[in-house]
A and B are shown apart, each in its own frame.
Chain A
């Protein structure tokens, strides 16, 4: 047969490579998909067992204020932990956001050259510090200071908030920096051309235009704070009580989770109740993700 005709009729080597490439990348994404679905299924199955197998009413779980699953009768109120998680997260975000916006503005608007050269790498370094180090700093520095200022043991929501503030500050700052950097240059130039000062330009134009990006940064920071386990567990005191004061010991979902899982036997109510907490945590991170998406969508409409 004519060699040219043959080569035209056969699948070429390049076409084969194309197919294999597609297959390989598809397998990779399939692996990730399977893992995500498996994790969600597994946690849901275990977490729902509290309600289905152990017949705990969801109302008691979400609104009960006593957590003691090994007592008789078992008490599985998750509200203290949920509130604990929620309060530390929101407080940390509220304190961290102004600092983050200030730092990011300095790095992008006021001194962009030093910002890129020195401050950015420093911030990125902070993001990479393991959480146990933050926890240790909290234990060695913030706990004694809190105890000195407010009395008590020094463990509690206030201290946890300070530690989380440290942890989420670099995350929020670096994302806010990206948001500010992505504001088009001509916005600033037009504002300056109209006679606005640099500060007026920053807070009337740049911040305004970057608001969705900044919001996304804050929500990301919050989702990191909400899921943080180790550092918080080291300084919050881990008492599953309704939070009554900022300086008395409280607990978060993650701290109770990490402490309880090794001490309970798989299949018992104690164990299932902890899985329910994990499910709650998973749902909350889903909410944070949806929030980020929602903010992104709203900004793209503009």
Chain B
């Protein structure tokens, strides 16, 4: 599959939040205002890109030659957790301003299932190294798109009248559901029409 195809697939057709329902925790938790939502989105994009590349290497160089593919989940979690810690240290040293912008969100990403999700999907789809990286990057972009849309909607909803039992998280979930319906318009047929 071409790289354009991978990007469109993971940003729109198989959007991690709105189609696959992965990473809902930060999607609901950090979408109260746009600024932190964008911060979270970029942090996730960063981690998914690097993590899918790293997990590809672990899979090809260690797990497959040893016939230990069944250990994917546990090793990938290990890799992702270590990677996020390392990234945090590196960013703190190299760019304090970026660390301040992403700072609080970086440790949270360790437990974001979207990161593990893209690593497993990339491995199952038999992507090569660059394809894995692009898939991870575009999955992060899809997350950024969804959380950005959600946060702007929620900011506007603050001034609207909402029935009392639905205020806060419940109405956010309903909104997310409606957004997911809208994203169903992006399907495989559309992808085929676009890139043949």
Partners in one complex: no
